[in-house]
Amino acid sequence: MVLKNILDFDYEGLQNYLTENFGIEKYRTDQICDWIYKKRIFNFDDMSNLSKETRKTLKENFIILLPDIVQKEISKIDGTTKYLFELADGNLIESVLIYYPSRTIACISTQVGCPLKCKFCSTGKSGFVRNLTVGEIVGQFLAMEKDNNININNLVYMGMGEPLLNFGNVIQSVNIFNDPKMKKLGARHITISTVGIPKMIEELANLNKEIRLSVSLHATTNLQRDKIMPINHAYPLEEVIQACRIYQEKTNKRVTFEYILIKGFNDSTEDALRLVDIFKDMKVMVNLIPVNPNPAGFEKPSKKFVDNFLDVLVKKGIDAVVRAEKGSDISAACGQLRLRRLSDLS
């Protein structure tokens, strides 16, 4: 018999399954979730307030499946920690733990690889394998908490893969993280980062959750975006922005836009002014990100160009910042560690 990963279940689903299939009292679900999500206990035998019979039933039917740590890199500069995890089927995924004075952020993956093939991203170069299960998404977060013996208080779906192409499992995992009986992570501390799948952005708006939306834009014209993000052929800039406007109208939430600055490509004053025009009448925050090392060999603009780009946005009334670089001395950019490992194995 194949054991079920208990991390695949949200609270209501787990309670119903335990009650209907094994006659386990409803309150036992609270105890089980407390052990796993609050106390970081991942062995049923150690759940001391459960009866021996309940523990036996759990062991015979479930597993608490965390990914195995294959490799870990820790920045000597700022403590940023990059994980390469191995899943039960041998596939590899990446997660990152980022430390700030007031918060700790987990960046987690939603797919093995990525189908989108953005030119600046190492993940797309290694190809797409499959979507992650709910338990595999949740497991990354719990594995990093366990490894560091900490409570992580912020979560970003910004690792390998496109979250909105694994919509159902991602939202189920959001429910698990947010549920007060489970991880109890405030919805406003959860961000979904997407390249912009218009239909799914609208679906996200319809859920009326307090989670944050971040959209990877990276260009101000379709001609530009086509060159670095093939998904733009299917979902051009105008459709992505329109979906974000609809999202904002339905939720009244500010949308964050990520904008990777590439030397000589999208870093001019004209680009900045076009960005201002794109965001007219919208509530936005723009994160400017000088490009990381990448398969295409794109280079960072000089500080002068970055500062000028930021200055244009701010003077035109756009909230914008240059994202502080983290983990610059390790393979912290998405996909680098997995790509290197796969190359070593081939």
| 296: Cα separation from own chain's centroid | 23
Tell me the C-alpha distance between 200 and 205, whole Å: 9
Residues with a known catalytic role:
94, 334
Distances (CA, A) of 268 to 125, 160, 289, 300, 302: 28, 29, 14, 13, 11
Q: Which two tokens stand for residue 75?
A: 């920045």
Phi, psi (degrees; rounded to nearest 5) at 49 = -90, 5
State the distance between the two ends of the chain, measured CA to CA, in whole angstroms: 34
Phi, psi (degrees; rounded to nearest 5) at 130 = -170, 170
Tell me the C-alpha distance between 282 and 246, whole Å: 11
Contact between 202 and 243 (Cβ < 8 Å): yes
Tell me the C-alpha distance between 327 and 263, whole Å: 21
H or E element in which residue 317 lies: none
SS3 call for 269: helix
Beta-sheet pairing, 68-74 with 81-86? antiparallel
